[in-house]
Amino acid sequence: MDSETFDLLRNTVRRFVEERLIPAEDQVEQDDAVPEAIVSEMREMGLFGLSVPEEYGGLGLSMAEEAGIIREITRASVSFRSVIGTTVGIGSQGIVIDGTEAQKREWLPRLAAGEVIASFALTEPEAGSDAGSLRTTAVLEGDRYRINGTKRYITNAPRATMFTLMARTDQGVKGSGGISAFIVPADTPGISLGAPDRKMGQRGAKTCDVIFDDVMIPAENIIGGTPGLGFKTAMKVLDRGRIHIAAVSLGMCDRLIEMSLRYAMERRQFGSPIADFQLVQGMLADCKVDQLTTEALMNATAARFDAGEKVSLDCSALKYYASEAVGRIADRAVQIHGGAGYMAEYKVERFYRDVRLLRIYEGTSQIQQTIIAKAMLRAAASA
């Protein structure tokens, strides 16, 4: 996208955040739901198609451009981002990267338009960070697969019209090698949903169990048409997803710093604004350093991703640093607000709860540390 067009898009999103999303945050928190009117506006703006190529009806943004838009959106409650997140990410990108041409033509235009909302069904009661141990099975019977299993903590499941499902198609292959990725319409007989999860934060972002009980789908619904490549597809999407989560973190950093600065300049103690006190200034300065470091690392990593370089280590380092950094900033924001920071009225306690999840999904901080260290050890051994 040329810079003028992208700036127009970003400014439009920025106004949408200021005029529609931020004023609706309290309603989302109270109702535990994003208003349908706002979801419709997000469709009209093309936000479901950020990462879908233009030839299939999307905006076709680069990774750097997508990160810039997500940063703007997540200045508001992160629950708004969750409405489009699973569609922009694995829901569309697995098909973009590894789907057959027929799958791309059938699904990508509908995903980009927000007509179809995707949900990524990988995690299970006994499979999270160890995704290779998943137990959901897909058994070939003629030209169809019979799917059985339970998925847990599935974001957007209550809203989804399509699942990107990871299931084991080869019982004789242990680990990730026997896993395939399927496109499964949510109205397929045999699919049922558990009760919505009660979560620590991110109210309005719905998650629940998804149960597959003798669900029959055509064999042609395997992404790419070849069994056993599902885990590889998921890993290909993860680099982009980790940059995306860094952008989420950065948008929340921006908002937390804005709120902290405003409060520090307005709140008076001992006859002066607390912003005059050096220990408060120290916390503000540390927040800025974390923000700038995240921004620089994200911009560099996104640029290298767009250039086609191998950036898996960089993406893990970025996601690890960004999600930990926003956690530190949220903690400082509560501290700067003092007693007010513990009260719902000032919203920082809400952001404090919301950001905690960022260190868990798209690979926990500990998984990122493991990836980084193993890559370092491989490089050292081959030097």
Catalytic residue ranges: 362
Cα 41 from Cα 38, distance rounded (Å): 5
Nearest to 237 by CA among 337, 56, 87: 87
With beta carbons less than 8 A apart as the criterion, state whether 288 and 261 touch: no
- Spatial neighbors of 380 by CB under 8 A, at least 6 apart, are none
Quick count: other Cβ atoms within 10 Å of Cβ 145?
23
Cα 370 from Cα 354, distance rounded (Å): 25
With beta carbons less than 8 A apart as the criterion, state whether 67 and 247 touch: yes
> φ, ψ for residue 196 (rounded to 5)?
-55, 140
Cα 48 from Cα 346, distance rounded (Å): 30
Quick count: other Cβ atoms within 10 Å of Cβ 341?
21
Tokens matching residue 263: 């409060």
With beta carbons less than 8 A apart as the criterion, state whether 221 and 97 touch: no
